[in-house]
Chains A and B, each alone.
Chain A
Amino acid sequence: MSEKRLVRVFLVDDHSMFRAGVRAELDTLTDDIEVVGEAGTVGEAVAGIGHLRPDVVLLDVHMPDGGGAEVLRQSRKAYPEVVFLALSVSDAAEDVIAVIRAGARGYVTKTISSQELVTAVLRVSEGDAVFSPRLAGFVLDAFADRPGAAPISDPELDLLTPRERDVLRLLARGYAYKEIASELFISVKTVETHVSSVLRKTQLSNRYELSRWASDRRLV
């Protein structure tokens, strides 16, 4: 662990103020992360990612010209090794789910504490998924079986296992991975596996397109 590679981070946000803030925080808080570049537009971001090949891209959801989802569309195929972490203040479920489905490995809100942001960056750089409590809530909502929900066409993708549901619930309750692990008597690694599996289902399941859950919360 001592020979830890520096995680190279690229910032994408259309507000230079915010980029400067994040850069300063990441620089002062940790030595494991190096901010290698930043971009303020979709075009700059795609070019910068292609040129610098960072490990992690911190991606703003809302930007002119299509926002984070557009950056993902344009650069994810070409550079599959680059990991994206969405960072936004948006609470709208459709925005959040859109970037996740476009390929982001996680979603955190901008009001996250700096230390948590560092943890999240390190975690996605190792290939894990990062679910904020809110995202966990959205995903639970999306997979809920309620009248009016989209039909299940592929049980493998359209349903969460009871265990995955438990993990998501605890995430939504604000539990950390370690706490979830001890609560469910499983290892942290297993928690990570469940979360990754939920992420995969969120990205591949077609229940999102079919249900209107994002725009109006369905009443139970």
Chain B
Amino acid sequence: MWRPAARVSILDVTAVLREQGADIERTVAGIERAAAAPEHPKVYRRRSGRAMAGVAGGLADHLGIPVLYTRVAFTLLAALGGAGVVAYGLLWIFVPQVSSDEPAREITGKERQQAFGLVALGLGLAIGAGTLAGTVNGWVAGSTSVALVGAALVWREADQGQRRRVRGAVLGGGGRSAIIRVLSGAALVAAGIIIFLISSIGLDQVQFALLAVVAALVGVAVITVPWWLRLVRDLGDERRARIRTEERAEIAAHLHDSVLQTLALIQKQADAPREVLRLARGQERQLRSWLYGPSGYGRGAADGAGLAGGLLAEALARAAGEVEDTFAIKVQHVAVGDCELDERLFAVVMAAREAMVNAAKHAGVAEVSVYAEVEPEKVTVFVRDRGKGFDPEAVPDDRHGLADSIRGRIERNGGEITLRTAPGDGTEVQLHMPRAKVTT
């Protein structure tokens, strides 16, 4: 991570630098936050203290109620046409497991017994209710439940495998017992399918073959769900990591090209305060437009194409920047509202720039204020300094700045200019320009 350099002792520059440091941290933190934790607390499945997949436990933790309630709720729902079983399965698939850094929770033997009892009861209720209601016949219910138990075994093993993978092992990797569990789960799924098929032996051969193929595919799909999910999640993780790296590289490159170069220049010119100030201001402005500007960093890259084109506030800021650079004064510019530049507004910007230049040259002050307000019907720009001021009547005829560059420009485009000045009282140039009717 790039750290603000502590060697340069000019306040302005450090202020800019430290701000930049904070912003990288903020940007990266923002990306990480977006990648990892949304604003609302997320549901996670429990990793320890679970009976099956930790769905009920995780839900209970999320809702802040005892786990027994959620388990009973799932059991009761299971009786309603197996809704509880389906809900549990879906949550198992879509809710991620809590990270393995979480401390393991202790559970008593009694709670464990209770949980397994409820699981059995739920399955029994689902099958029983289904059979009684006649929606499914005994064969289908029986085979489905056998297959479900098998799938549950495989999925549970996959959950375990995911934890082991963190320690370096690949698929499962839990030794022989894990392989046995996966295999027996797969066998149970297969058995369920076979039982289901046997029940439909009455069908003719083509139908039976079709059914067998479909059933086998479903079986494979069910068993491999955890691996598919893992694949998708890994892909997502990888993508996020790549985006983050690219983002970092881009920030580093930009800092190198701009801030570090300027710092080097400043160190070389440390005995010329005016030059240092100019460099620092220029760098600050560039950084600001990169970070916060309308076409700046994070809002899609679009480089400013000179003064023409783009938005009014941006063009004014660029003009102010140029004046700052050329005359080593500070131009405080504020814009309220914004709009696309057209020919008239371009004239306003150029006139405002000329007014700034006049102030910088003649007023003898270190700061000029520029204020632009965009309203639906018109655009108003004020350029003001607290400097010498002058007597408009006493301006020699050979000075063209105000007459041509400002008044002429504005009036040719249908605008108006007001000048307020008096010797010793500063100068304010007010530019008013009606806006072209926007056809929408």
Chain B residues 37 to 53 lying within 8 A of chain A, measured CB to CB, are none
B155 at the interface (CB under 8 A from A): no
Chain B residues 280 to 332 lying within 8 A of chain A, measured CB to CB, are 284, 288, 291-292, 294, 311, 313, 330, 332
Given contacts A15-B14, A92-B292, contact A217 B313 (CB under 8 A): yes
Q: Bound complex: CA of A18 vs CA of B9, how far in Å? A: 10
A220 at the interface (CB under 8 A from B): yes
Sort chain B's interface into a size bin: 35 or more
> CB distance A111 to B15 under 8 Å?
yes
> CB distance B12 to A111 under 8 Å?
yes
Contact residues of A: prevailing secondary structure: loop
> CB distance A137 to B335 under 8 Å?
yes
Q: Bound complex: CA of A88 vs CA of B18, how far in Å? A: 10
> CB distance A134 to B334 under 8 Å?
yes
- Between A and B, 27 residue pairs with Cβ closer than 8 Å are A14-B18, A17-B6, A18-B14, A18-B15, A18-B18, A63-B22, A64-B22, A90-B292, A92-B291, A110-B11, A111-B330, A134-B332, A134-B334, A137-B334, A137-B335, A146-B337, A169-B371, A173-B371, A173-B384, A173-B428, A174-B367, A174-B369, A217-B294, A217-B311, A217-B337, A219-B311, A219-B338
Q: Bound complex: CA of A18 vs CA of B335, how far in Å? A: 29
**Digit string of A169-201 for contact with B (CB within 8 Å is 1, else 0)?**
100111100000000000000000000000000
Q: Bound complex: CA of A144 vs CA of B18, how far in Å? A: 33
> CB distance A17 to B25 under 8 Å?
no
Instruction: Output the nearest chain A residue to B330 by Cβ-Cβ distance.
Output: A111
B356 at the interface (CB under 8 A from A): no
> CB distance B369 to A173 under 8 Å?
yes
User: Nearest Cβ distance between residue A214 and chain B, in whole angstroms?
Assistant: 11
> CB distance B19 to A62 under 8 Å?
yes
User: Nearest Cβ distance between residue B360 and chain A, in whole angstroms?
Assistant: 15
- Extra A-B contacts (5), CB below 8 Å, given A18-B11, A91-B292: A64-B22, A144-B336, A174-B384, A217-B294, A219-B340
B196 at the interface (CB under 8 A from A): no
Which has the most chain A C-beta neighbours within 10 Å: B15, B339, B375, B376?
A: B15
A141 at the interface (CB under 8 A from B): yes
Instruction: Output the nearest chain B residue to A146 by Cβ-Cβ distance.
Output: B337
> CB distance A220 to B339 under 8 Å?
yes
Sort chain A's interface into a size bin: 20 to 34
B16 at the interface (CB under 8 A from A): yes
Instruction: Output the nearest chain B residue to A174 by Cβ-Cβ distance.
Output: B369
Given contacts A18-B11, A137-B335, contact A169 B373 (CB under 8 A): yes
Which residues of chain B are near A92, meaning CB under 8 Å? 291-292
> CB distance B371 to A110 under 8 Å?
no
Chain B residues 1 to 33 lying within 8 A of chain A, measured CB to CB, are 4, 6, 9, 11-12, 14-16, 18-19, 22-23, 25-26
Contact residues of B: prevailing secondary structure: mixed
Which residues of chain B are near A216, meaning CB under 8 Å? 294
Q: Bound complex: CA of A109 vs CA of B292, how far in Å? A: 15
Q: Bound complex: CA of A91 vs CA of B23, how far in Å? A: 12
Which residues of B pack against A, CB within 8 Å? 4, 6, 9, 11-12, 14-16, 18-19, 22-23, 25-26, 284, 288, 291-292, 294, 311, 313, 330, 332, 334-340, 367, 369, 371, 373-376, 382, 384, 428
Q: Bound complex: CA of A40 vs CA of B376, how far in Å? A: 46
Which has the most chain A C-beta neighbours within 10 Å: B12, B14, B367, B428?
A: B14
Given contacts A62-B19, A217-B294, contact A133 B332 (CB under 8 A): yes
User: Nearest Cβ distance between residue A88 and chain B, in whole angstroms?
Assistant: 8
Q: Bound complex: CA of A110 vs CA of B382, how far in Å? A: 24
Which residues of chain A are near B294, meaning CB under 8 Å? 216-217
Which residues of chain B are near A88, meaning CB under 8 Å? 19
A8 at the interface (CB under 8 A from B): no
User: Nearest Cβ distance between residue A40 and chain B, in whole angstroms?
Assistant: 12
**Digit string of A13-40 for contact with B (CB within 8 Å is 1, else 0)?**
0110110010000000000000000000
User: Nearest Cβ distance between residue A42 and chain B, in whole angstroms?
Assistant: 13
Chain A residues 61 to 111 lying within 8 A of chain B, measured CB to CB, are 62-64, 88-92, 110-111
> CB distance A133 to B334 under 8 Å?
yes
Given contacts A15-B14, A89-B16, A174-B371, contact A144 B337 (CB under 8 A): yes
A53 at the interface (CB under 8 A from B): no
> CB distance B382 to A141 under 8 Å?
no
> CB distance A220 to B292 under 8 Å?
no
A136 at the interface (CB under 8 A from B): yes
Given A17, A111, A141, A173, which contacts B337 in the complex, CB threshold below 8 Å?
A: A141
Given contacts A173-B369, A173-B371, contact A89 B19 (CB under 8 A): yes
> CB distance A172 to B371 under 8 Å?
yes
Which residues of chain B are near A17, meaning CB under 8 Å? 6, 9, 14, 18
Which residues of chain B are near A21, meaning CB under 8 Å? 11, 14
Q: Bound complex: CA of A68 vs CA of B288, how far in Å? A: 20
Which residues of chain A are near B15, meaning CB under 8 Å? 18, 89, 110-111
A212 at the interface (CB under 8 A from B): no
User: Nearest Cβ distance between residue A203 and chain B, in whole angstroms?
Assistant: 20
Which residues of chain A are near B18, meaning CB under 8 Å? 14-15, 17-18
Q: Bound complex: CA of A136 vs CA of B382, how far in Å? A: 15
> CB distance A220 to B374 under 8 Å?
yes
User: Nearest Cβ distance between residue B419 and chain A, in whole angstroms?
Assistant: 15
Q: Bound complex: CA of A160 vs CA of B10, how far in Å? A: 40
Instruction: Output the nearest chain A residue to B313 by Cβ-Cβ distance.
Output: A217
Q: Bound complex: CA of A90 vs CA of B291, how far in Å? A: 10
> CB distance B19 to A90 under 8 Å?
yes
Chain A residues 142 to 187 lying within 8 A of chain B, measured CB to CB, are 144, 146, 169, 172-175
